[in-house]
Amino acid sequence: MASKARQTVRGTMKVGNSTFVWGSRTYVMGILNVTPDSFSGDGTGADVQAAVRQAVTFQEQGADIIDVGGESTRPPAVYAGARPVTADEELARVLPVIKALKSAVTLPISIDTYKAAVARAAVDAGASLINDVWGLRRDPGMARVAAELHVPAVLMHNQDGTSYRDLVPDIIARLGELAAEAERAGIAPDRIIVDPGFGFGKNTGQNLEMLRRLGELRALGKPLLVGMSRKSTIGQVLDLPVHERVEGTAATVALSIAAGADIVRVHDVKEMVRVARMTDAVARGWRPAHAN
């Protein structure tokens, strides 16, 4: 695994008040759904204090980022779809939480949205990263918002349907196109993170192949975010409901890190921080301060 570590992207990225040093260790993004219809059943809905408590717990458990989402984006092919929400409804969910989190946690806050108006208002309220499941393409104003506000952006691969000419090369090519478009819009190259989009426009077999070949995405030269936490592929492989997918998630986290993932997006922060640190110790030579 040592050779894998040498392939890791190097450099730094400023996210809020934090500086991420790529290649030093894996960063853990805690998922904070402020929706009533999250596929994982952990949405806090309109309860701002419940969201704050969850974020504080995530921070205590070792998370590096809090990813706030106000609209469920579960794919219709798996979960019968999610109800679309307007920008106003999404803002009503996420803004009170982001504002409350600014004084409750010291971690950078990410806004999980594909709407430019939501992204702009969220960053104004205190978010410092945009996480867009449509790679800044669904809303034509999104790339401009990220560029104008000088915040990093996660570009996720997503498509309608699961048809590919050649799965992994197609995904790499598309992510490369998205990154190039983001740069043309004015987003600095070192503020772009890529995400292969597990579960979005991919069936179970394709998700497993993508995970198996994840290291090939290093060719893009961008930090890599992976989000397979509790997803249906794990449930289908293990024949388990959402609340029993911790071990399956742990396996995908460890494999992702060994392949070079820089950020893992997870629901079960305490457990996955431990998995990440142990995997980092093997794959990247990371050591805690107290270790010999």
Q: Mean pLDDT over residues 263-280, rounded?
A: 98
- The one catalytic residue in 74, 222, 231, 284 is 231
> What is the pLDDT at residue 81?
52
Mean of the pLDDT values across residues 126-155?
97
pTM of the model: 0.92
pLDDT at 46: 75
Is 265 a catalytic site residue?
yes
Confidence at residue 3, expressed as pLDDT on a 0 to 100 scale: 39
Strand 109-112: give its sheet, edge to edge. Answer: 192-195, 153-156, 129-132, 109-112, 65-69, 27-33, 263-266, 225-226
Find the catalytic residue in 74, 191, 245, 265: 265
Catalytic residue list contains 93: no
DSSP string for residues in 200-236 = SS--HHHHHHHHHTGGGGGGG-S-BEE--TT-HHHHH
Quick check: 38 pLDDT over 70?
Answer: no
Residues 111-118: what's their mean pLDDT? Answer: 98
pLDDT tens-digit readout, 170-227:
999 999 999 999 999 999 999 999 999 999 999 999 999 999 999 999 999 999 999 9
77 band by pLDDT with thresholds 50, 70 and 90: very low
Domains and CATH numbers, the chain: 2-283 (3.20.20.20)
